[in-house]
Amino acid sequence: MIRRIHDIGAKAFGFVDTEDSELAGMTDWVISVPKQEQLKFFLVCTYLMYRNHEFDEYDRFSRQLSACLAKDLAEIEKESDAWAKQFAQKTSAFLKEHPDMPHYFIASGNLSGAAYSAAMCYWAEQFWIRTVYVSAQDFFHGMQEVITRDVPVILFVGKDEQRPLAERAARFLPKVCANYTVIDSSELPLNGIDEQFRGILSPLVIRSVMNRIDAWLEIELRHPRSIRRYYRQFDY
């Protein structure tokens, strides 16, 4: 792919953790910082928006993140830990009784990726839990008809312009379901960061809560997240 990019006269910007790898050497601009994949991409994208005159508040935003974000996200994990433990215990007990019941993840806007990742990359791949991801805007195009009293639903609510779509799902769920959970990023503190930036940071806030849920699920399910049935176990 990199060769093809160069063949057509374009340049490549890459995130390659191994600084001395062949891929890093072929990339025109490269960031080699281990881990934090989403945060690296996020910070670079906001900077590019600033350079393109689409995000004039970048300097203030980046200063606030440098001063407060790491501590704020750590505090969110601490504050949500006790609740996450209870949620993991409840989920584990439910799975024992209903191992084939899918868990539905719903989100809108910039939390769509967070919900997709939670459903597919964490719960399905790492815990082998049956999951379904659906966007809040697509939820009411048929998926709502399979939600009944006991179906487990997790709804992420952000602070961006698509928040009303998630709020619509939040109003609907109590009418038909007794097993839903709403995680609203606006209810979790981000001290030292302006309110106008909360929508941008919602995915990081939600991931902090899910980090604690997943850590407790690993214990409750007695299921190490490092094992796989099929992924990289054989050729396909």
Are 212 and 144 contained in the same domain? yes
Q: Is residue 57 part of a domain?
A: no
Q: Is residue 141 part of a domain?
A: yes
Residue 153: which CATH number? Answer: 3.40.50.10490
Specify whether the CB–CB gap between 17 and 34 falls below 8 A. yes
Output the pLDDT for position 12.
86
Output the pLDDT for position 128.
97
Crossing angle for the helix pair 198-220 and 70-97, to the nearest 10 degrees? 40
| pLDDT by 10s per residue, the chain, length 236 | 788 888 899 988 888 888 888 888 888 888 877 666 667 777 888 889 999 999 999 999 999 999 999 999 999 999 999 999 999 999 999 999 999 999 999 999 999 999 999 999 999 999 999 999 999 999 999 999 999 999 999 999 999 999 999 999 999 999 999 999 999 999 999 999 999 999 999 999 999 999 999 999 999 999 999 999 999 999 98
**pTM for the full model?**
0.88
Are 30 and 136 contained in the same domain? no
Are 94 and 121 contained in the same domain? yes
How many structural domains is the chain composed of? Answer: 2
Residue 182 domain boundaries: 69-220
Q: Is residue 159 part of a domain?
A: yes
Are 29 and 112 contained in the same domain? no
Are 31 and 91 contained in the same domain? no
Are 47 and 73 contained in the same domain? no
Half-sphere exposure of 122 (CA within 13 A, CB side): 20
Are 79 and 183 contained in the same domain? yes
Output the pLDDT for position 149.
97
Residue 92 DSSP code = H
Are 101 and 182 contained in the same domain? yes
Are 198 and 102 contained in the same domain? yes
Cα distance between residue 230 and residue 189, in whole Å: 39
Are 158 and 83 contained in the same domain? yes
Are 181 and 214 contained in the same domain? yes
For β-strands 131-135 and 29-31, DSSP reports them as unpaired
DSSP assignment of 158-197, as one string?
-SSTTHHHHHHHHHHHHHH-SSEEEEEGGGS--TTS-GGG
Cα distance between residue 55 and residue 144, in whole Å: 37
